[in-house]
Amino acid sequence: MNRFDDRRILVTGAGSGIGQATALRLLAEGGHVVAADVVPDGLAATVARASSAGLDVARLHTLVLDIADEASVVAGVQGAVSTLGGLDVLVNAAGILRASHTHETSLELWNRIVTVNLTGTFLVTRSALPALLSTGRGVVVNFSSTSAEFAHPYMAAYAASKGGVQSFTHALALEYGKQGLRAVNVAPGSIKSGITDTTAGYLPEDTDWSLFAKLSPILDAGVESASGAPMAGPETVAGVIAMLASDDGAFITGTEIRVDGGTHA
């Protein structure tokens, strides 16, 4: 099923994890995709995976983009729109996670997390909106997190940034709905990715692991994080994004889709 034939798509954070899985899924369904990431080696890996999977790499383009830098975003999005000849779908998957006791969180770290996750999402969306609106059927898929609505210890800055993304997306949905734009959040949880595999390394040395007792999925997807925690693969979220960004999601906007295996049921 090629739900994305003739659709022009920009995916940030496409050099690894869910962003990479999403770029490959939308490419497999016929889309013309610009995969953007701050890490060139990650983008090379995305192209290699597409090639090894037998996908049409002629429809896959890469873009080195720092979503935390306004000049990089403005030039990068303009370049992506030019390469694709327009833009139908934006997937803001790029983000970072850091963890620390809130009382020990420096202003520098707080600002870094908020700048990448929240301000970066704003910058890319702002630059992409004129092209998305010109189609009359543009779609923005933003990345919230289960931490935006459910307590995750030692991640106050991350949770705040994702709560901001969630609210931002609701505002977009209402402001531009009459112009045909849809804006939706995905809220992944217990998904194996570069972020989740490195989380344990950021936690404080005196971490109270009992606080994580409620953060395990009900469903068993047969995947484990680097620390052995039960998880699902990033393609699980990519499939949901494919639905949301396609005509199958035509009546979905201004809401969140939680993909966490029942962790927060």
Catalytic residue IDs: 158
- Amino acid letter for position 183: A
List Cα–Cα distances, 197 to 57, 123, 194, 202, 226, in angstroms: 28, 27, 5, 10, 5
Residue 34 has phi, psi (to 5 degrees) of: -100, 115
Q: If we measure between CA atoms, which residue out of 80, 64, 87, 77 comes closest to residue 121?
A: 77
The two beta strands, 223-224 and 230-231, are: antiparallel
Residue 35: beta bridge partners?
Answer: 11, 62
Give the whole-angstrom CA distance, residue 112 versus residue 117. Answer: 9
Distance of CA 191 to the CA centre of its chain: 12
What DSSP letter does each residue of 130-143 carry, written as one string? HHHHHHTS-EEEEE
- How far apart CA 36 and CA 23 sit, in angstroms, is 9
Helical H segments across 102-234, by residue range:
107-114, 120-135, 156-176, 194-202
Both tokens assigned to 170:
């609701």
DSSP code string of 216-227: --SS--SEE-TT
Tokens of 84: 């694709």
